[in-house]
Amino acid sequence: MNQFHILENRFPGRRAALKRDILEQALYCFIELGVEATTIDAIKARCETSVGAIYHHFGNKEGILSALFFAAQDDQRQHLDQELANTNSLREAVYSVICSYLDWVVANPEWARFLYQARSAVAKGPFQEELKDRNAKGFRELKAKLLGFGNESNSIVQPFEIVISLIVGPSENYCKAWLAGRVQTSPRDYREEFAESAWRSLQR
């Protein structure tokens, strides 16, 4: 299972072979050169195809970027949902959110780096509505799950608006630092610290 299983899962079949290849080489370029600095020509050269084929499949550069972005985001969310499905208490749920996040980043560092880099571009581009809808949906579902543990949810004494920030803020911040090389220790090594800190920060 290489780092491109995400694409194979999401664009399966023989018909989509070139489409997958374009995305694969584009991701490589985005990571290697940065989103802004990769040219259509560079992608074209790497998969030995034509600009026509690229524009036929994706419309424009944003189209490639967004397809990659949503594929990665879907995979990350799928991973979260799997972890979250087995939880039976609020505390377990909080732990799941943190751990699935840290695990996914460590398992897919290139994709994670790309997600961080591409977010702002997608948020402004032609797919901004789709991004908003997806984020809103994810937020809604997570909120429902966290508040769905009956009485126990009273242990969240913070205004819910800031709960998500309290839970994922530190992990996200550390993962970015790790992907940028500013810290060396794998985020996985701090699973307990981040999860326990998040849990306690929800209480008073």
Q: Residue 128 interacts with DNA (CB under 7 A)? A: no
* 200 neighbors 154 (Cβ within 8 angstroms): no
The reply to whether 49 sits near DNA by the rule CB under 7 A is yes
User: Can you say whether residue 34 is alpha, beta or left, with left for phi > 0 and alpha for psi between -120 and 50 degrees?
Assistant: left
Candidate list 37, 41, 140, 188; residue touching a second copy; CB under 8 A: 37
Q: Which is nearer to a second copy, 87 or 201 (CB)?
A: 201
Question: What are 123's two structure tokens?
Answer: 């948020």
Answer yes or no whether residue 183 interacts with DNA by CB under 7 A: no
Residues in region 118-137 near a second copy by CB under 8 A: 120-121, 123-124, 135
Q: How far is the CB of 145 from a second copy (least distance, A)?
A: 19
Residue of 51, 136, 162, 180 interacting with DNA (CB under 7 A): 51
By the rule CB under 7 A, 40 interacts with DNA:
yes
Say whether residue 40 binds a second copy (CB under 8 A).
Answer: no
- To a second copy, the closest distance from the beta carbon of 128 in angstroms equals 11
Instruction: Return the number of the residue (40 or 107) whose C-beta is nearest DNA.
Output: 40
Options 57-65, 72-80, 101-109, 194-202: segment touching DNA (CB under 7 A): 57-65
